[in-house]
């Protein structure tokens, strides 16, 4: 049993992490400033033994009393719509927030996990992306606030590892979807499902030929907890290697929901990556992990969750 601090614990991925940790008997201190998260995501955990929620902005000094075995730093806007709306907060939580939470891990002698992202590869020129690829990022474009914050966070994490001996893990998360995404957080899976259920047109950006590889949150959380429990520093890609065009995704969502929605085409956002697919050989070899939930099943579960309202 361990005591784990989860920053961003009231967010989409963070709330699933809290749930999985509690289910295996760990204690959880969830810290979140509710910028893009909600107490609704964790309210069902409030009665559980060993669960504490603290409303706090982790760009400020983070104090946690008592022993801590692991710090999982997941706080950060993650949807392009959110980080474009909060560019400075995104840069601050990736830089100052990573510094503060690494400081907490160092002080407590705790393991530290950084939630990094496939966006460190930018608009990748190598395909699929392995962990060796250094990326192709526009530092001054609008997405740079997220990409560079995460690249800085990786560098800071490695510096604490090398200079202070902090036991770190870096996970590069690829597009993750599932239950508890906000209906209007702007990411493609939630947008399409919400639009399809409402019979509204699905908004495909560009010609919809750009690709993504979508991982259901249950597979994702299983992978990142396996990395946390391993002795591999990283960085490690955790995502689903099955690649789809955005147009294919729209067609699948319409089919699975039995919707009468049409598809409309809207402008492609600036610097939108053309292709993205993780090479997960490393995760398979080191952790014996790979995703098992097919896109159709994951979309069905997510749509059922949104339909319940
Ligand atoms: P999310 O927006 O649902 O969750 C992020 C959480 O962080 C929110 O609850 C928000 O309120 C909180 N937060 C933001 N700034 C904070 C601050 N300064 N102090 C305290 N809390 C703060 O997003 P998500 O999809 O759950 O993403 C979680 C993490 O995983 C992020 O670090 C993100 O970069 C990373 N990630 C997610 C994906 C994905 O596809 N979901 C992909 C790559 C990386
Ligand atoms: N996208 C889209 N319609 C939407 C939302 C997103 O076509 O309503 C596209 C977006 O341009 C990108 C892909 O879907 O090419 C994935 O977008 P998302 O915001 O989910 O995540 P990203 O991978 O860009 O961070």
Catalytic residue flag (residue 61): no
Question: What domains, with CATH codes, occur in the chain?
Answer: 3-177+215-241+278-287 (3.40.50.720), 188-210+243-276+295-307 (3.90.25.10)
Residue-level pLDDT at 124:
98
Residue-level pLDDT at 109:
98
Residue-level pLDDT at 31:
98
Average of per-residue pLDDT across 81-100 = 98
Please work out whether the CB of residue 191 comes within 6 Å of at least one atom of ligand 2. Answer: yes
208-257 confidence digits (pLDDT tens): 999 999 999 999 999 999 999 999 999 999 999 999 999 999 999 999 99
92 touches 75 (CB < 8 A): no
Examine the pLDDT at 122 and tell me if it is beyond 90.
yes
75 touches 53 (CB < 8 A): no
| Ligand 1, residues at Cβ distance < 6 Å | 7-8, 10-14, 31-37, 57-59, 74-78, 82, 93, 97, 115, 117, 173, 175-176
pLDDT mean across residues, the chain: 98
Which of 83, 121, 146, 160 is the catalytic position?
146
* Model pTM score: 0.98
Buried b (16+ CB within 10 A) or exposed e, 221-233: bbbbbbbbebebe
Residue-level pLDDT at 1:
83
Q: Beta 211-213 vs 243-245: how paired, if at all?
A: antiparallel
Residue-level pLDDT at 250:
98
Average of per-residue pLDDT across 99-112 = 98
52-65 confidence digits (pLDDT tens): 999 999 999 999 99
Examine the pLDDT at 309 and tell me if it is beyond 90.
no
Residue-level pLDDT at 97:
98
Quote the DSSP letter at residue 200.
Answer: P
Could you tell me the distance, in angstroms and rounded to a whole number, from the CA of residue 58 to the centre of ligand 2? 28
Residue-level pLDDT at 5:
98
pLDDT band at 283 (very low <50, low <70, confident <90, very high): very high
């Amino acid at each position: 049993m361990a005591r784990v601090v989860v920053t961003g614990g009231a967010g989409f991925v963070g709330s699933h992490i809290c749930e999985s940790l509690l289910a295996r008997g760990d204690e959880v201190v969830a810290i979140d400033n509710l910028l893009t998260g909600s107490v609704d995501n964790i309210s069902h955990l409030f009665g559980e033994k060993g669960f504490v929620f603290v409303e706090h902005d982790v760009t400020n000094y983070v104090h946690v009393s008592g022993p801590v075995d692991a710090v999982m730093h997941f706080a950060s806007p993650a949807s392009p719509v959110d980080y474009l709306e909060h560019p400075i907060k995104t840069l601050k939580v990736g830089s100052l927030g990573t510094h503060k939470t690494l400081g907490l891990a160092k002080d407590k002698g705790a393991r530290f996990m950084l939630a990094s992202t496939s966006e460190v590869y930018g608009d990748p020129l190598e395909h699929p992306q392995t962990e060796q690829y250094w990326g192709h990022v526009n530092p001054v474009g609008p997405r740079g606030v997220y990409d560079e914050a995460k690249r800085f966070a990786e560098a800071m994490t490695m510096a604490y590892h090398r200079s202070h001996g902090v036991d770190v893990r870096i996970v590069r998360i690829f597009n993750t979807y599932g239950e508890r995404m906000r209906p209007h957080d702007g990411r493609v899976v939630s947008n399409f499902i919400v639009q399809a259920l409402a019979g509204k047109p699905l908004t495909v950006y560009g010609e919809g030929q750009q690709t993504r590889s979508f991982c259901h949150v249950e597979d994702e959380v299983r992978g990142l907890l396996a990395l946390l429990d391993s002795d591999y520093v990283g960085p490690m890609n955790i995502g689903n290697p099955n690649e789809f065009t955005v147009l294919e995704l729209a067609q699948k969502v319409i089919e699975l929901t039995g919707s009468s929605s049409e598809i409309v085409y809207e402008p492609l956002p600036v610097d939108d990556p053309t292709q993205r697919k993780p090479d997960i050989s490393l995760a398979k070899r080191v952790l014996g992990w790979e995703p098992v939930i097919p896109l159709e099943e994951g979309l069905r579960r997510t749509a059922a969750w949104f339909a319940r309202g």
